[in-house]
């Protein structure tokens, strides 16, 4: 069955040349409109927390007075089987293709999914840090927004903006984690649901927005509060830091509304985002009293573990083969270290080659865990156009030798 994403009332139109203010016919405030794009880039039940975070974000925006027609919510329909107003595919092209065409608008983007060094995922694809920031710069240069904030929930999410997002294009971004660590799921302890219900960083900014007067709280004040309430990772801020003095309400809604929650919640039972499928299976096995069900689940767990071990082994073989081709001298060092990503453009080309020739990272998200090794290779080499083309060809051959048609379908 073909899967579709759910899109709630349309905020942006694809390839439109008409200013949004004219399309919608109303302004959020006296001076500017507030628009929002809320994206859950993943699918499958194990990733329920991403959809839950986005739904909570939608309620926060509505509760603070942002009109429904100014919000677009993008999520897969395999969690909530609603009928939709408009159906599109969840793709990077659609996400980057939304037209923001009023130079006075305040825009809020929230994205929740898997990630790794310089990439974030969609159900069957990825966006690189190079492509994302190129789109943001294009939007600024073509006066498609006035001010923009971007909240990003993903592992290694800091790497999407570090050493690449300009500090002079009226964009302020915060991320769930720095460039070398995972983000964390939380509220994972309900045995009936057996899945994480939220992400820690997302709970922090959402609960802050629920419980504070965001018409008076600044972005900087909210960020400091989020850091305090995100104990398992290190949220970061990027871009035009001078915008941090603006009120949160300029992006999440300027209505001083009643609180959604009477008291601030306290996240519990944290699980590393990469290990949610593994941990949930283990807990399900522990809780069942049905021997037949336990056997089926145990086999599923073994398959999952085998797939992960296979991928780890294959990446080691690929790196060793690339080292033997002259791109590195010590495979163990490439595998065990993390160099800062500086050359986002070249890395984007390498990741896309891996995506097309090795493993679809949008589908087999655990593969993202190992992408730092390719960032290391990019930063350790000074590629010319010809040497990069040779590297990409050698990478494709290594992928064919060690991953393609070798059982990677087991990986989750």
324-352 residues labelled b (16+ CB within 10 A) or e (exposed)? eeebbeebeebbeebeebebbebbbbbbb
Distance CA 157, CA 151 (A): 10
- Banded pLDDT at 407 (limits 50, 70, 90): low
- Banded pLDDT at 26 (limits 50, 70, 90): very low
Distance CA 353, CA 337 (A): 22
Q: Which helix (H) or strand (E) holds 312?
A: helix 291-324
DSSP state of 104: T
CATH code linked to domain 288-410: 1.10.132.130
C-alpha 63: how far from chain center: 24
End-to-end C-alpha distance for the chain, whole angstroms: 20
- Sign of dihedral through CA atoms 156, 233, 220, 98? positive
- Banded pLDDT at 16 (limits 50, 70, 90): very low
Residue 94 is predicted with a pLDDT of: 56
Tens-place pLDDT, residues 355-374: 999 999 988 899 999 999 99
Residue 77 is predicted with a pLDDT of: 64
Whether the CB-CB separation of 126 and 360 falls below 8 Å is answered with no
Which residues are catalytic, by number?
A: 114, 155
Look at residue 257 and tell me whether its pLDDT is greater than 50: yes
Distance CA 285, CA 306 (A): 17
- Give the list of residues 6+ apart from residue 390 with CB closer than 8 angstroms, or none: none
Give residue limits of the domains in the chain.
5-272, 288-410
Distance CA 366, CA 368 (A): 5
* Coil, strand or helix at 199: strand
pTM: 0.88
Contacts 24+ apart (CB under 8 A), 279-284: 279/188, 280/46, 280/188, 280/194, 280/195, 280/196, 283/191, 283/194, 284/194
Residue 20 is predicted with a pLDDT of: 40
Q: Which helix (H) or strand (E) holds 238?
A: strand 236-239
Tens-place pLDDT, residues 74-99: 877 654 443 333 335 545 555 555 55
User: Which top CATH class is 5-272?
Assistant: alpha beta
Mean pLDDT for 273-298 is 95
């Amino acid at each position: 069955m073909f899967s579709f994403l759910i899109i709630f009332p349309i905020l942006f139109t694809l390839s439109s040349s008409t200013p949004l203010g004219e399309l919608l016919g109303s302004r959020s405030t006296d001076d500017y409109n507030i628009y929002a794009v809320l994206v859950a880039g993943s699918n499958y039940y194990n990733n329920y927390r991403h959809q839950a975070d986005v739904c909570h974000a939608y309620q926060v925006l509505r509760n603070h007075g942002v009109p429904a027609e100014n919000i677009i919510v993008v999520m897969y329909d395999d969690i909530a089987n609603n009928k939709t107003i408009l159906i599109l595919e969840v793709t990077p092209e659609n996400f980057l293709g939304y037209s923001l065409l009023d130079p006075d608008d305040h825009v809020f983007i929230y994205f929740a999914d898997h990630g790794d060094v310089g990439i974030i995922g969609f159900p069957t694809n990825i966006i690189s840090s190079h492509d994302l920031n190129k789109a943001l710069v294009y939007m600024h240069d073509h006066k498609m927004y006035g001010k923009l904030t971007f909240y990003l929930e993903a592992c290694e999410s800091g790497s999407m903006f570090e050493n690449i997002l300009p500090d002079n294009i009226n964009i302020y971004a915060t991320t769930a984690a720095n460039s070398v660590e995972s983000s964390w799921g939380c509220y994972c302890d309900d045995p009936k649901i057996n899945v994480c219900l939220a992400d820690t960083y997302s709970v922090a900014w959402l609960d802050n927005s629920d419980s504070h007067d965001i018409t008076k709280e600044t972005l900087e004040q909210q960020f400091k509060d989020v850091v305090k309430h995100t104990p398992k990772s290190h949220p970061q801020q990027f871009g035009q830091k001078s915008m941090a003095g603006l009120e949160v309400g300029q992006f999440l809604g300027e209505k001083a509304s009643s609180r959604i929650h009477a008291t601030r919640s306290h996240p519990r039972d944290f699980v590393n985002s990469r290990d949610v499928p593994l941990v949930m299976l283990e807990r399900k096995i522990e809780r069942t009293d049905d021997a037949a069900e336990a056997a089926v689940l145990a086999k599923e767990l073994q398959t999952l573990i085998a797939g992960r071990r296979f991928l780890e082994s294959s990446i080691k073989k690929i790196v060793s083969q690339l080292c033997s081709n002259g791109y590195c001298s010590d495979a163990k060092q490439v595998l065990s270290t993390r160099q800062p990503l500086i050359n986002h453009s070249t890395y984007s080309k390498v990741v896309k080659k891996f995506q097309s020739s090795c493993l679809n990272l949008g589908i087999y998200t655990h593969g993202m865990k190992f992408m730092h090794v390719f960032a290391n290779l990019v930063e350790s080499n000074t590629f010319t156009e010809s040497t990069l083309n040779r590297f990409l060809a050698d990478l494709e051959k290594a992928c064919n030798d060690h991953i393609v048609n070798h059982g990677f379908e087991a990986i989750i």
